Amino acid sequence: MSDIKVPIAKPIIGQEEIDNVVEVLKSGMIAQGPKVSEFEKEFSSWVGADYGVATNSGTAALHVALLAAGIGDGDEVITTPFTFIASGNSIVYTGAKPVFGDIDLKTYTLDPESIESLITDKTKAIMPVQLYGQSAEMDAICDIAQDHDLIVIEDAAQAHGATYNGKKVGSLADMACFSFYPTKNMTTSEGGMITTDNEEFVEEAHIFRAHGSRVKYHHDDIGYNFRMTGDANLHALLVLQRVELHGLLIDGCVKLGRVKTRY
C-alpha cells in the first residue's frame, strides 16, 4: 500500500509574489506598516464592510471582537459546538461562557431555531460559524439578535468570499472575523481580520490589539500584542494579491456543473 500524503491545499506562489515580497524586505518596513493599512481597506471593501482591523491570527480576531463588543465576566455567548476549538476558546478568554446551539443539517452551521430557548438575561452575543464556505441563516439570526438586543459576530474563518442572499460573508453582522492560516480559503501563512461597519468597535479593537493603548506608551486598559507578526507587511501584501486570485478561483468553480452553492 502506498504511503503518499495528499495535502488539503498548497499555496499558489508565483514570481510576482516573490518579487513583491523582496521589494517589501528591501524597504525595511517589515512590522505594522502601510501595506497592513492598505490590506485592511482592500479586504474590508472586498467583503462589503466599512472597516477592517488586521490581527496576528483568526483566534485573536475573535478574541478582540468579543472584547470590543464589551463581552466579559459572567456573560454568555451562543455559538455552535461544530467548529474549531478557537470559537469557544475566544469566548472563554473574555471570562464569558459559550452556550451551544444545535446545527442545521443542510449547512452544518448554527440553526436559528435552536437559539431562542438558549437566551437568558446573561446572553450578550451570538456567534454563528460560517463553515466550509457556507453561511448560516443570517437573516433569521440577526432578527433574533435585534429582538433581544444582542451583538452578532460572524466567525468567518472558513468562508472568505462566501455569499448569503447576494451579500458577502463579513458584511452580514455587527462584526466578522477571518483567518488567513494555510488551510483557510485565503491564506498568507498566518493572520486574521475583523470587518465591521461600526467605528466604535474599530476604535476598541485597535486598543485591545495593541496593549490597551490609545496613545503610544499610554495604556488605559489591559490589552494584548495581537498586531500582525513581524513580517506583517509581507502577509498583507500576499493577501492583497490573493484577493483577485481568490475571486477568479470562486468564479471558475461556480462555472463547474458539479459545484453548487446554497444561496
Residue 17: how many other CB atoms lie within 10 Å: 17
Quickly list DSSP for 178-199. Answer: EE--TTSSS-SSS-EEEEES-H
Tell me if residue 184 is catalytic: yes
Q: How would you classify the pairing of strands 167-168 and 175-179?
A: unpaired
Given the residues 184, 216, 255, 260, select the one marked as catalytic.
Answer: 184
Strand ranges for 28-92 from DSSP E: 51-55, 76-79
With beta carbons less than 8 A apart as the criterion, state whether 79 and 98 touch. Answer: yes
Output the nine-digit C-alpha cell for 123.
446572553
C-alpha–C-alpha distance, residues 32 and 112, integer Å:
39
Q: Annotate 144-172 with DSSP letters as a single string.
A: HHHHTT-EEEEE-TT-TT-EETTEETTSS
Distance of CA 47 to CAs 10, 62, 80, 229, Å?
Answer: 24, 17, 23, 23
CB atoms within 10 A of CB 89: 13
Collapsed DSSP state (helix, strand, coil) of residue 74: coil
Please identify every residue annotated as catalytic: 184
